[in-house]
C-alpha cells in the first residue's frame, strides 16, 4: 500500500462533538501525515462485521457542528462478548481474533477508539492482543479517569442548565416543586454542575446518598419562609441512604445492562405525601446527548483529534489523550480502562453548593 492507514470508531452512547473528532482525525491525517483513514461503522460492531469506509476530505467537511456521529455507534457491541443466537439460544462468543484479522488485513498503523469507560476497556483488551490503540475520551458523564474533562460534557451541561432555567418560571408561577432528572449514571458531575449553574435548591447525586426526610424538611422550610416553590435537580443514579438505585429496565444483550431512570418520580411522590406542595417531574433524557456541540466541545474535540493523530504518527500507542491543566497529554490506557471518575467528597463544587445554601440531601 502506498499510504499508511489509521482506523477510527466511535463507541458507546452518542454525544455532541463526535463528528468534530472524526473531522479532526481525518483532516489532520490527510494534511499532516498523508495517511488514509478507515472509519468503522457502528463502533466495534463495524470491526466485528467488517463494515467500514475510507474517509476522505469531503466526508469530513461540514460536520463540525453536527451532533451524533456520521459513522454510527453502538453501546452493545463487544468483540469479547459478542451476542449470537444459535438454535434459538442466546450466547456470548469471543470474536476478537476475527477483529484482529481485519485489523491486520487493513494494515492499520493504529485504531483510534473514541468513547467512554466501556470503549476504553474493550480497547485495552484489543491492545493486549496486539492492536496499536489510541483512545479519545468521550462522555457526557465526565466520569473517565485521568482527564479533567471529556468532550460532550459541556454541551450536556448547557442543555441541562437551560432546562432548569426554563422550569424556574413554571415552578414560581404555580408554586410547585419541580424535579429535573439528568443523566450521569454513577457520577454526579452533570447534576452537580448544572444544578449549581441553574440555581437548583436541592441537588442529589450518587456519591452522596440522600435522606428523604432532610429533603422534605428543606422544602417545608422554604415554603414557611415565603419560597413557595423549589427546584430539585436529581442525578439518575442518586439513591437514598441504605437504598438502591432506580432503573427503568435491564438490557440483557448490553455490556452495561442497567438502564437507570425514574428516581425523581419516587422522590416526587414522597414529597407530595408529606407536604401540601404539588410536584412535577421532568426527565431530560436523550435531549442531553443530542444537537449541535457547544463551541467549547468543538474546540476540545478538535484538540483531542489532532493530539491522537500526533500520537499515532509518533508511534506512541496504547495511550488515551487526556486534558490536564489546560494541556493535551498522553496517559497509559490501563490507567483509564475499567475505572470511573466520581465526584469526590471534597470537590470544590460541593463546597460551592453548600456555601450558597444548596441542599445536598443530607444534614
How far, in Å, CA of 133 to CA of 124, rounded? 8
Q: 164 is written with which cell numbers?
A: 432548569
Q: Which residue in the block uniquely carries the three cell numbers 447534576?
A: 191
How far, in Å, CA of 105 to CA of 266, rounded? 53
CA distances to 15, 17, 20, 91, 309 from 59, rounded to whole Å, are 19, 16, 12, 37, 18
Tell me how far the alpha carbon of residue 309 is from its chain's centroid.
22
How far, in Å, CA of 150 to CA of 205, rounded? 19
| Residue of 163, 141, 149 whose CA lies nearest to 75 | 141
φ, ψ (nearest 5 deg) of residue 338: 75, 15
The answer to whether the beta carbons of residues 299 and 125 sit under 8 Å apart is no
Catalytic residue of the set 141, 143, 154, 297: 141
141 is catalytic: yes
| Residue of 231, 191, 179 whose CA lies nearest to 350 | 191
- Residues 6 or more apart whose Cβ sits within 8 Å of residue 328: 303, 304, 307, 321, 322
Strands (E), the chain: 5-10, 36-40, 52-55, 82-86, 89-93, 108-115, 133-137, 177-182, 202-204, 230-235, 247-250, 258-260, 279-283, 319-324, 327-332
How far, in Å, CA of 279 to CA of 240, rounded? 19
Give the chain's length: 363
Please give the positions annotated as active site. Answer: 141
Amino acid at each position: 500500500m502506498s499510504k499508511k492507514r489509521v482506523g477510527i470508531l466511535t463507541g458507546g452512547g452518542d454525544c455532541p462533538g463526535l463528528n468534530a473528532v472524526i473531522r479532526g482525525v481525518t483532516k489532520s491525517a490527510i494534511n499532516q501525515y498523508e495517511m488514509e483513514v478507515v472509519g468503522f461503522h457502528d463502533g466495534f460492531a463495524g470491526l466485528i462485521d467488517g463494515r467500514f469506509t475510507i474517509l476522505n476530505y469531503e466526508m469530513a467537511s461540514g460536520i463540525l457542528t453536527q451532533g451524533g456521529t456520521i459513522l454510527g455507534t453502538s453501546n452493545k457491541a463487544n468483540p469479547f462478548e459478542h451476542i449470537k443466537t444459535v438454535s434459538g439460544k442466546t450466547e456470548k462468543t469471543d470474536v476478537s481474533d476475527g477483529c484482529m484479522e481485519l485489523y491486520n488485513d487493513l494494515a492499520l498503523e493504529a485504531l483510534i477508539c473514541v468513547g467512554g469507560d466501556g470503549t476504553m476497556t474493550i480497547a485495552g483488551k484489543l491492545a493486549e492482543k496486539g492492536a496499536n490503540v489510541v483512545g479519545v475520551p468521550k462522555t457526557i458523564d465526565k466520569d473517565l479517569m485521568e482527564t479533567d474533562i471529556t468532550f460532550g460534557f459541556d454541551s450536556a451541561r448547557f442543555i441541562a442548565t437551560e432546562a432548569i432555567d426554563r422550569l424556574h418560571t413554571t415552578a414560581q408561577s404555580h408554586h410547585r416543586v419541580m424535579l429535573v432528572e439528568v443523566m450521569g449514571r454513577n457520577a454526579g458531575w452533570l447534576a452537580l454542575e448544572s444544578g449549581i449553574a441553574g440555581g437548583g435548591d436541592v441537588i442529589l447525586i450518587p456519591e452522596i446518598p440522600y435522606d428523604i426526610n432532610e429533603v422534605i424538611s428543606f422544602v417545608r422550610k422554604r415554603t414557611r419562609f415565603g419560597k413557595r416553590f423549589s427546584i430539585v435537580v436529581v442525578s439518575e443514579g442518586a439513591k437514598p441512604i441504605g437504598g438502591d438505585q432506580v432503573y427503568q429496565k435491564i438490557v440483557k444483550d448490553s455490556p452495561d445492562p442497567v438502564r437507570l431512570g425514574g428516581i425523581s418520580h419516587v422522590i416526587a411522590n414522597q414529597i407530595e405525601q408529606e407536604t401540601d406542595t404539588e410536584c412535577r417531574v421532568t426527565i431530560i433524557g436523550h435531549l442531553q446527548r443530542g444537537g449541535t456541540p457547544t463551541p467549547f466541545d468543538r474546540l476540545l474535540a478538535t484538540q483531542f483529534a489532532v493530539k491522537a493523530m500526533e500520537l499515532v504518527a509518533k508511534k506512541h500507542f496504547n495511550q488515551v489523550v487526556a486534558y490536564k491543566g489546560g494541556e493535551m497529554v498522553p496517559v497509559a490506557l490501563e490507567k483509564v480502562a475499567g475505572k470511573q471518575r466520581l465526584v469526590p467528597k471534597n470537590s470544590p463544587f460541593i463546597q460551592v453548593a453548600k456555601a450558597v445554601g444548596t441542599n445536598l440531601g443530607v444534614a
